[in-house]
Structure 1
Amino acid sequence: MEEVTTFHGLGHLFMTIFLYCFSAFIVAPAITDVSMAALCPGKDECSLAIYLSGFQQAITGVGSLMMMPLVGSLSDKHGRKSLLTLPMTLNILPLATLAWSRGTTIFYIYYVLKTFTSIVCEGSVLCLALAYVADNVPQGQRASAFGILTGIASCAFVCATLCARFLSTAATFQVATTMAVLSTVYMRFFLPDSIRDNSLVVPIVTSEKLSAALLEDYPGHRNRISRAICSVREMASFMRSSVPLFQVAMVSFFSSLGEAGLQASSMYYLKAKFRFNKDQFADLMIIFGTAGSISQLLFMPILVPALKEERLLSIGLFFGCAHMFLLSVAWSSWVPYMAAMFSLLSIFPQSCMRSIVSKQVASYEQGKAQGIMSSIGSLANVISPLVFSPLTDWFLSGRAPFDFPGFSIMCAGFTMTIAFIQSLMIRATTPTSEIGSP
């Protein structure tokens, strides 16, 4: 009976993640064109759009750095479902804004809403979903389960991008808003909570407010600065608790820094060099997502038992480096499409790192551990715009010291190379015993 309940719980989780990711990904091909049309009409290069995007990424990273360990710890105490409700509800607001209109004034309203809601939303849904899976899947099967979860997100990415390819911009944001609402309603009605020992669960919404719950978990820390310091201390303590955790944390930081650099640069680079538009971005994302889905759902369950997470992590990072280097020197508009095929193998690292971490902590610390891992990625997102946004603007403009539009992407590739070298030093880990209670 417990196995059947677990199966249904994971099934509802996968559906929730599919709907949520669909709502988030369907707007991805259109957002660059919307931003540039609102900020720099008729231009193929827009410094304001690049810097606003970088600023948003930095603010989101700072907020997530503070929030992710807190969200993870609260989910260990109050349950995953209660904590999922907040980011999934907030995610609706910025989408609904652009569904209404996409003029310059409305775009700035969207920008402010997106910046502040992303502080809570960015990464928290995936973080809580990973903790949910860890609650319900034995240690030996978690890498494959994490891969399936990432594969579900990749499937949502493909389906959403296909829809965006054939929808108008206005319809794209309307569909995104509808799916965001549907995912939240579905989660609240159908997803069972994953905490098995009900004596450990404290309802987060009773007569007390969420803010009271936040302060309860961090007594004496009554302001954001104190909570930020506490988050940094937790991250440092977490990284020092074992050698494999420290190694994975370093790999996570540099790989996230490289990925953030790629994300900050690639669309503006492709638009400036090859005049890509919404439809071409969608085609590129479909290739990337389809390859990633096939890899996560079919290849990873086979490769993990044979190669183990540590080796598969290194393989994924190697092909991630290759993807960035090839994209940075693209000599024709078909090269980015070929580079996207590297996602067949470059999609592995996140699932592998999360699996390694989940085996190093006890069952009652899964939310906290996944939250701290998300915070490490958020720290990379804070640093990335300070480096890659100016580089992107500089080398896409006429002020560049030499003609190399993809220089910022190559720098992101070198950052990913550091993560790859570090991953080679991770040795096989001994899972933490699940026996015991907090």
Structure 2
Amino acid sequence: MEELGRLSHLYVTVFLSYFSLYLVNPAIPDVTVQAVCGGGKEECSLAIYLTGFTQAITGLGAVVMMPMIGNLSDVYGRKNLMTIPMTLAIIPLVIMAWNRTTNFYYAYYVFKTLTDIVADGGILCLALGYLADCVAEGKRVAVFSVLSGVICGANVCGSLAARLLSTPHIFQVAAVISIVAAIYMRVFLKDPVREKNDMLLEQPILNPGKGSSKSSENISFIHQIPSPKDVFILFRSSNKFALAASVSFFTSLAEAGGAAFLMYFLKARFHFNKDQFAVVLLITNLGATLTNAIFMPILGPIVGEETLLCVALFNGFLNMLFDSIAWSAWVPYASASLGMFFTLSSPCIRSIVSKEVKSSEQGIAQGCILGITSFANVVSPLIFSPLSALFLSERAPFNFPGFCVLCIGFAYVVGLILSVVININPFVSRRDRVSEEINVEYRP
């Protein structure tokens, strides 16, 4: 019962945090175009490049910050570290709630770029580590999928609210909700007592003490910051971990490209505004909420994360394919229904990774995966910003406005190929590998 209470408080915290984020997403393209281009035309290359630049800077910073935040939370507690990203996320929303003129927009742009280095993936990283602390290995796919369902549910509610609210009210409500989320987390969330069932894993993959007899709690703060060598050792510890990280990179490359540039494509192609964006997001995340919160906890332990990952990535490709060749304004609405499948990729990858490390390393493991995700956010705009701006302009080498969207779909294809390799290799957890090594070593 106590464990259920902890999980409930975490889910409420994550829901409120992501609700405030997703509430503003449908309004951002309109606000950006109005602020930087005067709102006089639907196609705005400067808005596309600004979005890509934000994505690149945020991703570059998060590559370093996510493993560090995860590792620090392994020592100092998930709740203490979660306070930082949740507090930082409030600042940009307050700026836009105050005013949305050009000067205020650029102030928002600067603060959003800087705070997202920590806030964008920090909340998810710490939430995943928290769940791994609370739940045994065999049940993690269920709670990870419920977490994804909660995030998708927040997206549904945020998109629906954005459809009903005016633009000024959107940012005001989002700012208030983000403040409530931080207060709720500090008052109700409690750090879990980590499981003590990892007796076979007496030596962690990473040994920050380097042979010292001191516990990790007594090591100085600076020694809790993982070096590139530590991260490299973690990836080399398991072939399955490395494959999952590779799949995460290409999946995140596609997701980042779709999130940043698909809206601008739909705006230029079919003159979508915040109301149409909200409906597309609503369709996507309503189906994703149902599959992640209801069907995935049931099917995950039966079918296996590896198989579901392949299904998710294939549907991600189909979604981008249909959007790229959309011949009518109703096609993006229809393809959005595939969101009930392709959003399963994230919990599948998180579950695979969590089984490859011990409980005291869940933070840094999930942080490293989010670091890979952040690196994909750096690469994505370098590839897709020029493509998107080129094929939406009059200088396009051939008449295919959705070519950039199709290229995003190809990133899903590469991830699918790698996920098939994971599926072919039978899963053997690190615990089982250590058990086998001990049996071989002490065999008479």
State whether TM-score is above 0.5: yes
Q: What residue number does 1:25 align with? A: 22
Matches within 5 A, 1:176-191: 176-191=174-189
| Structure 2 Cα separation of the partners of residues 78 and 393 of structure 1 | 44
1:361 maps to what in 2? 357
Residues 70 and 371, structure 1, Cα contact 8 Å, conserved in 2 = yes
Residue-by-residue CA offset, 1:359-381 (whole Å, 9 max, x unaligned): 00001000010000000001111
Tell me what 1:168 maps to.
166
User: 2:16 corresponds to which letter in structure 1?
Assistant: L
Aligned equivalents of 1:364 and 1:126: distance in 2?
Answer: 17
Q: What are the residue-to-residue correspondences of 1:25-424 with 2, within 5 Å?
A: 25-41=22-38, 42-196=40-194, 213=221, 215-218=222-225, 230=227, 232-424=228-420
Shift of 1:72: 0.3
Deviation track 1:216-251 (CA, whole Å, cap 9, x = no partner) reads 424xxxxxxxx7xx2x43332222111111111111
- Structure 2 CA distance for partners of 1:203 and 1:409, relative to 1, 3 Å: farther
> Equivalents in 2 of 1:370, 1:115: separation in Å?
22
Equivalent AA in structure 2 for residue 12 of structure 1 = H
Structure 2: gaps spanning 5 or more residues:
197-213, 436-444
Aligned residue type for 2:242: F
Deviation track 1:278-304 (CA, whole Å, cap 9, x = no partner) reads 100001111011010011111102211
Deviations 1:255-297 (A, max 9, x none): 1111112122101000000000010000111101101001111
Computed over aligned residues only, the root mean square deviation of the Cα atoms, in angstroms, reads 1.9
Contact kept? 1:195, 1:201, Cα under 8 Å: no
Following the alignment from structure 1 to structure 2, what is the Cα–Cα distance between the partners of residues 431 and 326?
38
Name the aligned partner's letter for residue 313 of structure 1.
L
Query: Any conservation in 2 of the 1:310–1:428 contact (CA below 8 Å)?
Result: no
Q: What amino acid sits opposite 1:124 in the alignment?
A: G
Provide the rounded CA distance (Å) in 2 between the counterparts of 1:188 and 1:27. 24
* Aligned residue number for residue 207 of structure 1: none
The answer to whether the 8 A contact 2:300-2:308 is kept is yes
Distance 1:132 1:200, change over 3 A: farther
Q: Is the 8 A contact 2:285 2:340 kept in 1?
A: no
Q: CA deviation at 1:122?
A: 1.3
Distance change in 2, residues 1:372/1:402 (3 Å): same
Cα 1:48–1:349 change in 2 (3 A) is: same
Runs of 4+ off more than 4 Å: 197-204
Q: Deviations over 1:150-207 (max 9, x none)?
A: 1011111111111111101010000000000000000000000124389978599xxx
- Over residues 18-57 of structure 1, what are the superposed CA-to-partner deviations in whole Å (9 max), with x where a residue is unaligned? 1101111100100010000001122101111111110100
Aligned partners of 1:321 and 1:414 also within 8 Å: yes
SS of the residue aligned with 1:27?
A: helix
CA distance in 2, matches of 1:200, 1:78: 13
Q: 1:77 touches 1:200 (CA, 8 Å); kept in 2?
A: no
The one-letter code matched in structure 2 to 1:31 is: I
Deviations 1:62-102 (A, max 9, x none): 10001000000000000000000000000000000000000
Q: Which moved more, 1:425-434 or 1:278-287?
A: 425-434
Secondary structure, in 3 states, of the residue corresponding to 1:430? coil
8 A contact 1:71–1:124 mirrored in 2:
yes
Aligned residues: 414
